[in-house]
Chain A
Amino acid sequence: MSLNQVKINDFVIRFANVNGTGSASANYLFCKSIFRMGVPVTPKNIFPSNIQGLPTWYEVRVSEKGYLGRREGIDIMVCVNPQSMLKDVGNVRTGGYFLYDSSKPLHSNYIRDDIHYIGIPLMEMCNEAFTDPRQRQLFKNIIYVGALAALLEIDFKVFESLLAEQFAGKEKLIAPNIKALQMGVDYIHEHYSDPIDIRVEQRDLVGDSIMIDGNTACGLGAVYGGATVAAWYPITPSTSVIESFMNFSDEYRIDPETGKRNVAIIQAEDELAAIGMVIGANWNGARSFTATSGPGLSLMNEFLGLAYFAEIPTVLIDVQRTGPSTGMPTRTQQSDTLEAAYASHGDTKHILLFPSTPKECFEMTADAFDLTEQLQTPVIVMTDLDLGMNDHMSKPFQWDDHRQYKRGKVLDAEALEGIERFGRYLDVDGDGIPYRTYPGTHPTKGSYFTRGTSRDEYAVYTESGDAYVRNMDRLMKKWNTAKSYVPGPHLYQEVNLSTYGILFFGTSEYSTEEAIDILKAEGVQLDAIRIKSFPFNDTVEEFIHSHDKVFVVEQNRDAQMKSLLMIELSINPEKLVSVLNYDGLPITADQIVNSIKSGLSFSDLK
């Protein structure tokens, strides 16, 4: 093995496994060990829509510079799946490493002369060391982690502490894991004494960061945000939002005195029922939410129109996956943007929030409950599979104990006493947001009939065109009011530095930031803005108007965010240049850079 320039803390490793063989926890152990070495790391789970038997990959990018987006070019491939081996061999970059189970000889088809091979007889070693068939299977994975530790010089003590944490309470599982790790280390020391040209070195670059997935963060945000009713229907990749909410509720929502639960979580018969329950609960004064993905969002359209028109708070977490139809259920995309923005028939618009990190998943979910009650309209949190199901390095979550829940304009019995006649849809304050009452508040005042049919300011059914238009115009006024309630964009510069801008949102953040750095190094300056919500506020409009061209980065085919900007802000389509990725994998910086370079004459940009 020749020693080239050593790459320290800068590589991509991909694990090729068979689904359902216990590889996930071993691969996570590897990823977490690097995080514990103080080095920024980003794992991506590329998994099949299957429970057992199909190929699954786990990719870890290690980046001293802190780039958390996915990167093409596999430096090390760990392949323990014969099904995908041919493709996996082909994916290794020239000069990279291919680690495989050498219990059986490698077929000549798999031999390339421009990569390095590291064979470890994983199956043989396991069969020798362990008798239990399940252990023989599981520890193959742990042995290769041990081998990687030796090759990359990861501190063994890190694994010891990680395993001690993982198996707290099940200590007898620690020893066989350590044994398997050590077998991997020893094998490398005995058979591959030459170092490889990739290495991990201890750093202090992660600070107080945490590693967590966005769905867990959303579930926790719902607990902190005061949700008491959750209704849902299982669908990948949103299911773990509710699972997270359930787990945290088991911990933090049990009344210590009575043992009863301060939460109701209902698994509905379908997404229609799930959103119906959420609307019923919110109507009745409980904070309630559901989580779904594209197909569920399609089903929920009718009810979203009702919630918009009848002005009922509703929180929906949309963990987007690759559409249309069933699409690729275990791949990511940002392709529900238009569907969510205008869900349901008739003139409707919905508030969207676009988190980019687990921290924002936590915050925006909690904020969504305030926003939906303040504005009395649905709020949809637009996360995606990449953010929701992959672990991300994130700033720690924070909560201000002085923060109060903003319950919006709700009249209690006392307030109703002072009112001559309650008008549910009267614009008392001139901001388009009316007052509401919860059922059961007052014996004679404040009751009204909620309906999806047109009605006047007093919630009385009407077919008067004038009353209908008054109501629709008030809803539009409320929409404009919302612009000052929703989170504004992140503007990367105080004054414009370029005539070119780049606009992005959600999980395109990491790779776009990296792309901006790459282009800058090549002499191209781009001003940047990250959108966090819809409706767009004035800063977004000003940013676009103050640049000659704006690249719009998004992960769908049809440039849905570009369309939304054009429609809502009357932007000339020529001005917005799309940078798109829709292959189901998270967008990379290289894709963005290449797209920008091909989209315009590169010399123009400089």
Chain B
Amino acid sequence: MTYLRPKFRHPELPKNNLGYSVDYYEGSLSTLCAGCGHDSISAGIIQAAYELDIEPHRLAKLSGIGCSSKTPAYFLSNSHGFNSVHGRMPSVATGANMANRDLIYLGVSGDGDSASIGMGQFVHVIRRNLNMVYIVMNNGCYGLTKGQDSATADSGSKNKSGHVNLFQSIDLASLAIELGATFVAQSFSGDKSQLVPLIKAAMNHPGFAFINVISPCVTFNNNPGSTKSYDFVREHMEATSTFDFVPEMAEITTSYSEGSQKSVKLHDGTFLQFHKIAQDWDPEDRISAINAVQNAKLKNEILTGLLYINPEPVDLHEMINTSLRPLNSLTKEDLCPGSEVLKSINKDWR
């Protein structure tokens, strides 16, 4: 949607700890359709970055191709962005992360970009536990090419033109858990109160953090019979729990009754505090997470919230033992063995 956004902002907008108000985290005007779920997710990203006091220039945003992959232009305009090629964002993010481990990497993809053309890269970036946030804006269709079914469209789901999808859908969240992703969540673009804490927790996670966000396509897949419409998702959402960040460990004062609450200690000493926990689900237990997702499916429900977290992940840099100094900051003095070494190498080859 193209419209003019007034430049005026209320001078007394609240500021975060860095002294920035939320507008500092905005991007250029969205060109997506009015009411597109993706714009709500962009708003969620803006809110999360603002609340987490992130310096925008210390975050890099990357994407592939598609409606979802356009969104990095619409948030965090002071961050470097990279709109790469279709399905290949994970590899570009991997290279970028290897070059500089000190930035936050936010990858945005879609269901076509991740579940079809980019499936190979999606699964392999999970295997490597790259330290990044990976958000799939999942609408079950190819919006930019006018609504063809994607690989996440549910079998039997009907699109705007009345076409019924015949094929099994790919469940990206289950797949991510199965592949060993260390943070897996599912949410809905229409539920900001759930989405923003999830994005914050994902950004705080020092490993691969995946959020599959159902994000209805208002133009091609928001009709009766679609399982990715606003109405359908609202009616069929079931949450694992709600949760808060607890920044300081000492501050946990709430008593919690067995089975309904749980706190998970994170790598940096902070906590995730869960409330209203679903039955037979433990956020640190992969099996319970997979069971919970599958059981919800049987009941025709979409399970949302945090599905699984490993609070102490070992990321790719740690696995391959790279320098704590960003590789892109190393100089010739750090990297080049010099002429004397070369002389001795030559000698070995005589």
Number of interface residues of A (CB under 8 A): 72
Contact B82 A283 (CB under 8 A): yes
Contact B338 A452 (CB under 8 A): no
Which residues between 222 and 273 of chain A lie within 8 Å of chain B, taking CB atoms? Answer: 223-224, 226, 228-229, 231, 248, 252-253, 255, 258-266, 268-270, 272-273
Judge whether A95 is part of the interface by a CB distance below 8 angstroms. no
Judge whether B13 is part of the interface by a CB distance below 8 angstroms. no
Contact A401 B338 (CB under 8 A): yes
Contact A273 B85 (CB under 8 A): no
Contact A443 B78 (CB under 8 A): yes
A residues in contact (CB < 8 Å) with B: 208-212, 220, 223-224, 226, 228-229, 231, 248, 252-253, 255, 258-266, 268-270, 272-286, 288, 302-303, 306, 396-401, 404-405, 437-444, 447-453, 460-461
- With contacts A211-B350, A252-B337, A266-B98 taken as known, whether A444 is within 8 angstroms of B92 at the C-beta atoms is no
Contact B96 A284 (CB under 8 A): yes
Task: For the complex, give the distance between the alpha carbons of A33 and B339 in Å.
Answer: 28
B residues in contact (CB < 8 Å) with A: 28, 55-58, 60, 62, 72-73, 77-85, 88, 90-100, 102-103, 120-121, 124, 128, 316-317, 320-324, 327-328, 330-332, 334-339, 341-343, 345-346, 349-350
Contact B103 A440 (CB under 8 A): yes
- Residue from B56, B73, B103, B345 within 8 A of A220 (CB atoms): B345
Give the shortest distance, in Å, between A269 (CB) and chain B (any CB).
4
Which one of A269, A280, A286 has the greatest number of beta carbons of chain B within 10 Å?
A280
- Chain A residues with CB below 8 A from B328, complex form: 228, 281, 284-286, 438
- Residue from A228, A269, A396 within 8 A of B327 (CB atoms): A228
- Given A260-B321, A277-B98, 18 additional A-B pairs, CB 8 A: A226-B336, A228-B98, A228-B335, A229-B95, A266-B98, A272-B120, A273-B121, A280-B93, A283-B96, A438-B80, A439-B80, A439-B103, A440-B100, A443-B78, A444-B57, A447-B56, A449-B80, A450-B80
Residue of A whose beta carbon sits closest to that of B338: A401
- Chain B residues with CB below 8 A from A439, complex form: 57, 60, 79-80, 96, 100, 103
Contact B349 A210 (CB under 8 A): yes
Residue of A whose beta carbon sits closest to that of B65: A452
- Chain A residues with CB below 8 A from B58, complex form: 440
- With contacts A280-B92, A280-B94, A397-B346 taken as known, whether A273 is within 8 angstroms of B78 at the C-beta atoms is no
Contact B78 A444 (CB under 8 A): yes
Contact B99 A449 (CB under 8 A): no
Which one of B81, B91, B338 has the greatest number of beta carbons of chain A within 10 Å?
B91
Task: For the complex, give the distance between the alpha carbons of A440 and B341 in Å.
Answer: 35
- Residue from A261, A302, A438 within 8 A of B320 (CB atoms): A261
Give the shortest distance, in Å, between A35 (CB) and chain B (any CB).
8
Residue of A whose beta carbon sits closest to that of B58: A440
Contact A401 B324 (CB under 8 A): no
Contact A286 B88 (CB under 8 A): no
- Chain B residues with CB below 8 A from A228, complex form: 98-99, 327-328, 330, 335
- Chain A residues with CB below 8 A from B28, complex form: 460
- Chain A residues with CB below 8 A from B88, complex form: 272-273, 276, 303
Task: For the complex, give the distance between the alpha carbons of A453 and B92 in Å.
Answer: 16
Give the shortest distance, in Å, between A117 (CB) and chain B (any CB).
36
Contact A440 B99 (CB under 8 A): no
Residue of A whose beta carbon sits closest to that of B324: A260
- Chain A residues with CB below 8 A from B80, complex form: 437-440, 447-450
Contact A262 B327 (CB under 8 A): yes
Contact B60 A284 (CB under 8 A): yes
